[in-house]
Amino acid sequence: MFLGLNNAVAIISGAAGGMGTASTVRLAKEGCKVFAVDMSQEALDRMMAKIAEEGLSELVYPYVCNATVEAEVNAAVDKCLELFGKVSILVNIAGIYTDCLFKDMTFDEWSHTMDININSVMFFCRAVLPNMLENQYGKIINMASQAGVVGSVKHTHYSASKAAIIGMSRSLAREVAEDGINVNCIAPGIIKTPMTARYTPEQVDNFMSKIPMNRFGEADDVAKVIEFLASDGSDYLTGQVFNVTGGWLMH
Task: Point out the residues that are catalytic.
Answer: 158
Of 96, 88, 145, nearest to 120 (Cα)? 96
* Nearby residues of 216 by Cβ (< 8 Å), 6 or more positions away: 190, 191, 192, 196, 207, 246
Q: Which long-range contacts (CB under 8 A, 24 or more apart) does 241-244 make?
A: 241/144, 241/149, 241/166, 241/184, 241/185, 241/186, 241/187, 242/184, 242/185, 242/186, 242/187, 243/146, 243/149, 243/187, 243/189, 244/186, 244/187, 244/188, 244/189, 244/191, 244/217
Question: How many angstroms separate the CA atoms of 220 and 227, rounded?
Answer: 10
DSSP H helix total and E strand total for the chain? 9, 7
In this structure, the strands spanning 89-92 and 181-188 are: unpaired
CB 65 within 8 A of CB 76: yes
